Chain A
Amino acid sequence: MEFIQDLMNYGFLQKALFTSIMVGIICGVIGCFIILRGMALMGDAISHAILPGVAISFMLGINYFYGAVVIGLLTAVGIGYISQNSRIKSDSSIGIVFSSFFALGVILITKASTAIDLTQILFGNVLSVQSSDMWLTLIIGAIVLLIVILFYKEFLITTFDPTMAQAYGLPVRFIHYVIMILLTLVTVASLQTVGVILVVAMLITPASTAYLLTNRLSTMIFLSAFFGALSAVIGLYFSSEYNLSSGAVIVLATTFIFILAFIFSPKQGILWRAIREKRNKASI
């Protein structure tokens, strides 16, 4: 209960709370589309690849958001271009492109500026969130959620059956890049909270947990957003009370919820599955 007291008293904790809940929600929502499209690695790639974008933004004295979005899109286009125009498979082209960008980013950040702390970008620190960061996250979050709500139908069909979508005239490739833009936005918004290294966990783990629990995409999205937000709050609590790295604790919270679902999910959980199998064998 001390934590709630602290929340009332300290502005920095309130900012951290709002920011991390929003990050949990939008990562959960976009994560559902990412895992269903088989693009989990793409999420990892874009989050790492935006590093040079952040560095260049600092050099130019603009908000890191702009550089990150440009580089994130460049990564998505580059990966698509290599795998479509050669025999290189998409996981390999992801590996080539993102590690190059990441390496470039490390050099740029260490050489160009003393103002940015590399560790902070890599691992995040939700307790140091400024008002401007909080507003940026809330605005990005609102935009992402609005687009998903408005184009839910189009996102659903291009994810499930892109051939049908293309056959009736939807711009399937354009929608793919819209989702890539949203993914980049979500990653940028998560920088402060979990950092680039761990953002992939926020994208994949809550969505995978939800995937084990339901057979409806809309339910999956709500559950995933809820698990994301819940993990963010749990992580914030432990990191402020016990002075632990916020990103790491949040990620472990998502993992913990995932393990629960993995074991106890009524349809997919290994526990019920084992019980069912045993019952079936006994009844033969």
Chain B
Amino acid sequence: MGKALTVDHLHVSYYGKEVIKDVSFSIDTGKLVGIIGPNGAGKSTIMKATLGLIPKDKGNVRVLGKPLKAIRKKIAYVPQRNNLDWDFPINVIDTVLLGTYPHLGLMRRPNAKQKDWAFQCLKEVGMEDYSKQQIGELSGGQQQRVFLARALAQKAELFFLDEPFVGIDVSSETTIIQILKKLRDKGKTVLVVHHDLTKVEDYFDELILLNKELVDFGPVQEVFKPEKITRAYRANLSILENVGVKM
């Protein structure tokens, strides 16, 4: 089994304040990995820094054994839903079609082949009946499924999803996790930023437990233990203790 993603001594700061301190981990291909931790733990930040979307202070990232720059097109990223313009004049199928852009050269337009493929991806997430709708007319769960379809259209080896389950309905969540597991079974590597601790054990193979520093990384059975979770969330718990909340 090859290494899908290796992160080595990663440091990231915002305006001089360190938010990721010396994080290292290494993920095998074909794993479904959850990134969990309290608010402000740097979950989204570590994902963005790994993808080169924000500058890092120090550290090395290798994807499938290569430097990030050489392999960007093998990665599909689904950002948080709230930083998009949902009034943009684009419909569902054209949004999915954007997923074919990375593999089209400059100045080349998608043709029937790409459109066909986009429609298949849309079917995969069960949204084919909505293909002509403007994206803002969909519910949160439907929007998330459309963006997963776009990621599928990218034919990537690695999938990065930032809080995909926030504010969506149960059936969309089920559809999405099933598709992610299917990707994993096909040997793809999937990373998910996640904050709901209740379903962690059902969803993921491995966990990255984060609170600015790496608290633990490994198989979910080993990492998802009360003492480790408490350690990661300690900063927040001690605030509660200070104001007199008994746990």
Q: B102 an interface residue at 8 Å Cβ cutoff?
A: yes
Tell me the nearest residue of chain B to A37, going by C-beta.
Answer: B85
Provide the bound-state CA to CA distance between A211 and B107, in Å.
25
Partner of B79, one of A154, A157, A164: A164
Chain A contact residues: helix, strand, loop or mixed: helix
Known: A150-B107, A167-B51, A215-B90. A157 touches B85 (CB 8 A): no
Please, which residues of chain A bring their CB within 8 A of the CB of B89? 36, 211, 214-217, 219-220
Q: B98 an interface residue at 8 Å Cβ cutoff?
A: yes
Interface size on A, residues (CB 8 A): 24
Please, which residues of chain B bring their CB within 8 A of the CB of A219? 89
Please, which residues of chain A bring their CB within 8 A of the CB of B73? 168-169
Chain B: interface size category: 20 to 34
8 Å CB contacts to B: which residues of A142-157? 150-154, 156-157
Q: A277 an interface residue at 8 Å Cβ cutoff?
A: no
B85 touches A36 (CB 8 A): yes
B139 to chain A, nearest CB (A): 17
Q: A135 an interface residue at 8 Å Cβ cutoff?
A: no
Provide the bound-state CA to CA distance between A150 and B109, in Å.
9
Please, which residues of chain A bring their CB within 8 A of the CB of B104? 153
Q: B171 an interface residue at 8 Å Cβ cutoff?
A: no
Q: B106 an interface residue at 8 Å Cβ cutoff?
A: yes
Provide the bound-state CA to CA distance between A192 and B84, in Å.
38
8 Å CB contacts to B: which residues of A185-235? 211, 214-217, 219-220
A154 touches B53 (CB 8 A): no
B98 touches A160 (CB 8 A): yes
A153 touches B109 (CB 8 A): yes
B96 to chain A, nearest CB (A): 12
- Please, what's the 1-or-0 string for A15-37, where 1 marks a CB less than 8 Å from any CB in chain B? 00000000000000000000010
Partner of A168, one of B72, B108, B110: B72
A69 to chain B, nearest CB (A): 24
Please, which residues of chain B bring their CB within 8 A of the CB of A211? 89
Q: B94 an interface residue at 8 Å Cβ cutoff?
A: yes
Tell me the nearest residue of chain A to B75, going by C-beta.
Answer: A167
8 Å CB contacts to A: which residues of B138-193? 154
Provide the bound-state CA to CA distance between A161 and B130, in Å.
20
Tell me the nearest residue of chain B to A165, going by C-beta.
Answer: B101
B53 touches A151 (CB 8 A): no
Provide the bound-state CA to CA distance between A29 and B47, in Å.
36
8 Å CB contacts to A: which residues of B32-91? 51-53, 69, 72-73, 75, 77, 79, 83-85, 88-91
Please, which residues of chain A bring their CB within 8 A of the CB of B77? 163-164, 167
Provide the bound-state CA to CA distance between A219 and B90, in Å.
10
A161 touches B84 (CB 8 A): yes
B193 to chain A, nearest CB (A): 14
Q: B134 an interface residue at 8 Å Cβ cutoff?
A: yes
B98 touches A215 (CB 8 A): no
Provide the bound-state CA to CA distance between A167 and B104, in Å.
15
A176 to chain B, nearest CB (A): 16
9 pairs from A and B in contact (CB 8 Å cutoff): A153-B101, A160-B84, A161-B79, A163-B83, A164-B77, A167-B72, A215-B90, A216-B89, A216-B94
State the 8 A-B residue pairs at the shortest beta-carbon distance, nearest first.
A168-B102, A169-B72, A215-B134, A167-B77, A215-B89, A163-B79, A150-B107, A217-B89
